[in-house]
Amino acid sequence: MKKLFLFATLLVMSIGIFNVSSAQDMNILEKDYEISRKAKKGYLGGVEKQENGNFDLIYFSPSTFFGKAVVETYTFDKDCNLLNTVRQDLETEKVRKRYKFFVYKGEYFIANTMSASTNYVGKLVFRKKQVTAKWDWWFGGYVRRVKMLDKVKPKDEDGKGYYFLGGAYEVERDSAILVMAMVNNLDTKGDDFKGFRYDLIKADNNLNIKVLKQLTFPYHVRCVFAKPLMDNESASIENDDMPRDWIVIYAPTNMSKKEFTCPSTTKYTYFRISPEGEIKEQFDFEAPASGWRIVNAYENVVGNSKSVILYGASTGKEGKYSNQAIAETLVATSSQDAEEAEVSKSGGGALGAFSGLGGALTGSNEIGLREDQVEDMLDLKDYTHFVVAKIENGKMTVGKKTEMEELNDKAVAPPDMKKPLKFNGKKFVVNDLQVLSDNSLLLNVQDYKKIKQQAGNKMMGTSMTRVSDKIYEGMFMLHFTPDGSLIKNYTVKIDQKSKKGFFNNSPITSDMFRTGSSVIETKNVGSVNWIMTIVKAIDDYAPKYSIEYGKLNLKDGIPSDFKTLGEDEKRKYYLYDRHNRINHNGFMYFFSETLRGDRLLLSRLKLEE
């Protein structure tokens, strides 16, 4: 039954209104509201914009009726006034069809999937993986428990085992895994040698293995990148729920005989593969650098035009083959993730509050490197260049590298900083890439320093909070032209320790977490608002975030000071974990809640014209 509560009946709710004007004339309006007990038992599932400037906050919570969910919609006008709420008990299947961000598949489900890893002699091993999941209405996701089952060593048509040097994609939606496996053809003697063969393999949850495509390289190569595409929805819809295409890139090596070594050290091969295993693109291109560590592949869609941006860093060892320029592996040799490994160490404990289903990963039997281990290892290397490339219409149209020293030559800082931060190309992570309307690029990186890691990892909701061995420091926003040339480096010092409430009995501190970053373009070309998400407090092991904001005048290369949104230390409101902002009709809206989840704070930030 639909229940409609008009705004007039909601005046009994406690409402607070805060008006703030920053030193940058970016007017802030804040209003807080009490939410219903029912919504408090659930989670903020999404935000929908309306053409008239209004917007809806949509909460999902459990229903007392079997097979249904409670959908509670709060409608606000552009001035953050609550207009009405609508509460409905709807069949979950109808909710799934209506809201793509509702990823509920039932209270429990069991899925049989696959993992891939390398063994002690480099051979490919498949292992059946049973995932038992319980829906958590508080966090809006599944708490998973993983049990490793049967394993098999796939063989080619000659009965030989495959080598696995990295490149696996678990497609949870299809209970399948895609793997690029090297055929055992290392013997290059004889006239019948036709090249180095890789098989694109697909394995289903019953260990049925199928070779989808045989690929032959005339020269010895290694995999240097293998990840699903990122896009503008990656932050809100995970790849498990909406699998993207898989990008796999190979680079030549000098690890074979001279006649089987590519004359060019930068002749890379690019594959775009669908989650079903169809090769949609395959071509060679000349990479901008030899020792290129590709961090991510981002798909930029403008109308009917699509391109893939590859970005990362280079060791600068030009003329060297990939294995000489970066000796370490560049891709994971195990598809197991860090959370699964954490469970295996615990000897059988469940992820989060979910327990009693038995079984755990036998991670000690998996010797391949996980993706997070590879990333941590590569973060410690010294890099001399940033590298940006663009792939479109089956070829590389942009490929540019920028020396690290140029970053410091073109560095600027806000007025309240005495001088720009220095960037040395050591110990940094890439946070975000955004393509602006003029096709210029903004790439955000953050440096860090290593500390001695403490014990104390803990499950929080559906994910593992790991005690980091990194202290994150300065932010660097790199502005590139459409052809990849550096225009300016905007630097901001992040001093999270200066804020209160960051320390408690847990070994986790606020500066162990990366600073989130996004930019919002203004109507005036050449100006953006830079929004940073920083940790404001630690509640037990869980980070709680707030917003800092400022403006970048890209045309003149001038940054503003950065301010904290709202009365930061006086009110205990923290950003929702997901769906915590929208850009709508010239305003940026942020959505925060109390630790108890009983009150909602709307913060409206007027964007610069």
Residue 363 predicted with pLDDT over 60: no
pLDDT of 221: 95
* 591: three-class secondary structure by DSSP: strand
In which band, very low, low, confident or very high, does the pLDDT at 361 lie, cut at 50, 70 and 90? very low
pLDDT of 256: 87
CA–CA distance, 90 with 278 (Å, rounded to integer) = 37
Residue 252: which region, alpha, beta or left (left: phi > 0; alpha: psi -120 to 50)? beta
In which band, very low, low, confident or very high, does the pLDDT at 333 lie, cut at 50, 70 and 90? very high
pLDDT of 543: 84
CA–CA distance, 501 with 382 (Å, rounded to integer) = 35
pLDDT of 69: 94
Please tell me which residue, 191 or 394, carries the higher pLDDT value. 394
pLDDT of 303: 81
- Give the pair of three-digit tokens for residue 457: 């990892």
In which band, very low, low, confident or very high, does the pLDDT at 366 lie, cut at 50, 70 and 90? low
Residue 170 predicted with pLDDT over 60: yes
Amino acid at 584: H
Please tell me which residue, 440 or 540, carries the higher pLDDT value. 440
Q: Which of 1-5, 102-106, 329-333, 338-342 has the lowest mean pLDDT?
A: 1-5
CA–CA distance, 131 with 149 (Å, rounded to integer) = 11
DSSP 498: G
Amino acid at 336: Q
Burial class, 536, CB count within 10 angstroms (exposed 0-12 / middle 13-18 / buried 19+) = buried
The percent of residues in the chain predicted with pLDDT above 70, rounded, is: 83
Residue 467 sits at φ, ψ, to 5 deg, of -70, 115
Please say whether the beta carbons of 413 and 474 come within 8 A. no
pLDDT of 247: 98
pLDDT of 392: 94
* 185: three-class secondary structure by DSSP: coil
CA–CA distance, 332 with 374 (Å, rounded to integer) = 6
Mean pLDDT across 544-565: 89
- Give the pair of three-digit tokens for residue 221: 């190569």
47-99 per-position pLDDT tens digit:
999 999 999 999 999 998 889 999 999 999 999 999 999 999 999 999 999 99
pLDDT of 237: 77
Mean pLDDT across 140-145: 87
Please say whether the beta carbons of 283 and 394 come within 8 A. yes
- CA torsion angle for 19, 23, 24, 29 (degrees, to 10)? -10
Burial class, 56, CB count within 10 angstroms (exposed 0-12 / middle 13-18 / buried 19+) = middle
Residue 466 predicted with pLDDT over 70: no
pLDDT of 475: 94
Q: Which of 296-305, 358-367, 442-451 has the lowest mean pLDDT?
A: 358-367
pLDDT of 168: 95
How far lies 115's CA from each of 9, 167, 374, 555, in Å? 54, 12, 17, 49
pLDDT of 358: 31
Please say whether the beta carbons of 18 and 545 come within 8 A. no
Which element (helix H / strand E) includes 338?
helix 338-346
Which element (helix H / strand E) includes 376?
helix 371-379
Spatial neighbors of 498 by CB under 8 A, at least 6 apart, are none
The percent of residues in the chain predicted with pLDDT above 90, rounded, is: 48
Please tell me which residue, 238 or 143, carries the higher pLDDT value. 143
- Give the pair of three-digit tokens for residue 322: 């990939």
CA–CA distance, 440 with 554 (Å, rounded to integer) = 10
pLDDT of 505: 54
In which band, very low, low, confident or very high, does the pLDDT at 190 lie, cut at 50, 70 and 90? low
Q: Which of 52-66, 182-196, 363-377, 557-571 has the lowest mean pLDDT?
A: 182-196
Residue 346 predicted with pLDDT over 60: no
Q: Whose structure tokens read 């320093």?
A: 449
Mean pLDDT across 145-167: 86
Query: Which is nearest to 114 in space by CA: 200, 227, 208?
Result: 208
In which band, very low, low, confident or very high, does the pLDDT at 206 lie, cut at 50, 70 and 90? confident
How far lies 113's CA from each of 146, 180, 525, 544, in Å? 10, 17, 48, 33
Which element (helix H / strand E) includes 408?
helix 404-409
Please say whether the beta carbons of 606 and 594 come within 8 A. no
Residue 421 predicted with pLDDT over 60: yes
Q: Which of 93-107, 179-193, 307-321, 451-465 has the lowest mean pLDDT?
A: 451-465
Amino acid at 497: K
Q: CB count, 10 Å around CB of 259?
A: 9
pLDDT of 554: 94
Please say whether the beta carbons of 543 and 568 come within 8 A. no
Q: Whose structure tokens read 């769906």?
A: 579
Pairing state of beta strands 486-492 and 411-412? parallel
pLDDT of 80: 96
Max distance between CA atoms of the chain, in angstroms, equals 87
Q: Which of 186-195, 215-224, 235-244 has the lowest mean pLDDT?
A: 186-195
125-139 per-position pLDDT tens digit:
998 888 898 999 988
- Give the pair of three-digit tokens for residue 40: 């408090």
- CA torsion angle for 348, 350, 356, 361 (degrees, to 10)? -40
